[in-house]
Amino acid sequence: MGKGAKRRSANATTGQACPCGSGRAYADCCAPLHSGDAHAPTAEALMRSRFSAFALGDADYLLRSWHPSTRPPRLELDPGQRWVRLEIVDTERGGLLDTAGTVTFHAHHRDAGRPGTLTEHSRFVREDGRWVYLDGDQP
């Protein structure tokens, strides 16, 4: 992970809106998850924090929040791709008392100035009491 991505995450200020679209300030939403000061209480919260990590270029967090059985050895994010909006379509289970859950979403981005949308049905599991991303299907 390059220095630039860490710098972008660190520069997110207290009043800045969280990239995940929750309507909350980044400092009160995904920042504590990214820093390791808190853990996502639900699969949807983890999905939102992972989108924010993509938007901010935080590959370290993405790797930490990925299940060890499916996690790649390294992750290089495309600096030309800008993640701009997350739309949660559906969630199944993934709550406070669940051990597995799914989140279907549309992640809107711009790549070389052109708009695009990634749609995924993501699977999450609780590993050692913490939600992690397992894998996903893209229709």
pLDDT, mean of residues 22-51 = 98
Pairing of the two strands 81-93 and 114-127: unpaired
> What is the pTM for the complete model shown?
0.89
Share of the chain above pLDDT 70, in %: 90
Q: Give the model's confidence band at 13: pLDDT under 50 very low, under 70 low, under 90 confident, else very high.
A: low
| 3-137, CATH topology level | Nuclear Transport Factor 2; Chain: A, (3.10.450)
Q: What is the DSSP letter of 89?
A: E
Strand ranges in 1-139 using DSSP code E only, listed in sequence order:
81-93, 100-111, 114-127, 130-137
Q: Give the model's confidence band at 14: pLDDT under 50 very low, under 70 low, under 90 confident, else very high.
A: low
* Domain spans, the chain: 3-137
Share of the chain above pLDDT 90, in %: 86
pLDDT, mean of residues 49-53 = 98
